[in-house]
């Protein structure tokens, strides 16, 4: 699904540059989507990865929604990104925490296909710096995944069935934020990750 050709930072002779131009022309037809890692390695992939973020409940704060929409548009410049919002469960006051997680879990699983690669945003997940997260994105894209699905659960987390389907867990912070704020923070980090991979002047060390 991928082919490593060379490092941009390497020094080349004129003959090397001509050969690389030929390689790029040939591989860009067979592997139309290119990604670059932090060490300047260039990868050519046959299929472009789709990224989806699934959340529970709509964003009811207009200021947050405006920013989410802004970063959504920015992110789609780099990759096909979809934000899917599952409506809040009705009559949650009559449900136990366990019952609410079960109902939300069933709705989350109903949105997945057999080929989706599921990653949960969970307080017990792995923590990344922004650069490390961009490298993790690179690895996922180079692995041949068709759709990378991230999920932000409800107020009580995920059901056991959802955990069993997940391929991994990540944590944005050891602090606690509202689920609506996490949506914005995560979409911004996705956008930041792609600007890092592209060596664009958005992220600063």
Q: What is the pLDDT of residue 20?
A: 45
Whole-angstrom distance, CA of residue 128 vs CA of residue 131: 8
Place of tokens 């990759």: 79
Q: Which two tokens stand for residue 92?
A: 């949650």
| pLDDT tens figures, 21-52 | 554 455 444 444 454 444 555 444 445 789 99
Whole-angstrom distance, CA of residue 69 vs CA of residue 125: 26
Positive or negative torsion for Cα 5, 8, 10, 16: positive
Closest CA to 163 of 81, 108, 114: 108
Single pTM value for the model? 0.78
Place of tokens 């057999």: 114
Per-residue burial over 128-158, b if 16 or more Cβ lie within 10 Å, else e, is: bebeebbbbbbebbbeebebbbbbbbbeebb
Tell me the chain's radius of gyration from C-alpha atoms. 19
Longest CA pairwise span in the chain (Å): 73
Place of tokens 């003959």: 15
Q: Is 186 helix (H, G, I), strand (E, B) or coil?
A: helix
Contacts with 102 (C-beta within 8 Å, 6 or more apart), sequence order: 159, 161
Q: What is the pLDDT of residue 108?
A: 97
Q: Answer whether residue 109 shows pLDDT above 90.
A: yes
Question: Is there a contact between 65 and 121 (Cβ–Cβ < 8 Å)?
Answer: no
| pLDDT tens figures, 144-198 | 899 999 999 998 999 999 999 999 999 998 888 888 899 999 999 999 999 988 8
Sheet with 147-152, side-by-side order of all strands? 80-86, 50-56, 147-152, 116-127, 168-171
């Amino acid at each position: 699904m991928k082919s490593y050709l060379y490092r941009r930072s390497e020094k080349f002779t004129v003959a090397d540059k001509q050969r690389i131009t030929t390689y790029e022309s040939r591989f860009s037809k067979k592997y139309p989507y290119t990604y670059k890692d932090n060490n300047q390695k260039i990868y050519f992939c046959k299929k472009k990865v789709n990224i989806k973020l699934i959340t529970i409940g709509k964003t009811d704060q207009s200021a947050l929604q405006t920013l989410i929409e802004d970063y959504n548009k920015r992110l789609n410049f780099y990759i096909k990104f979809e934000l899917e919002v599952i409506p809040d469960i009705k009559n949650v006051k009559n449900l136990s925490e366990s019952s609410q997680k079960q109902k939300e879990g069933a709705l989350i699983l109903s949105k997945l296909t057999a080929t989706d690669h599921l990653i949960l945003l969970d307080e017990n997940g792995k923590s990344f710096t922004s650069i490390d997260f961009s490298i993790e994105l690179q690895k996922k894209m180079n692995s041949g995944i068709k759709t990378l699905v991230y999920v932000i659960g409800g107020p009580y987390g995920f059901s056991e069935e959802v955990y069993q389907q997940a391929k991994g867990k990540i944590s944005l912070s050891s602090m606690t934020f509202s689920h609506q704020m996490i949506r914005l923070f995560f979409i911004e980090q996705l956008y930041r990750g792609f600007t890092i991979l592209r060596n664009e002047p958005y992220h600063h060390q």
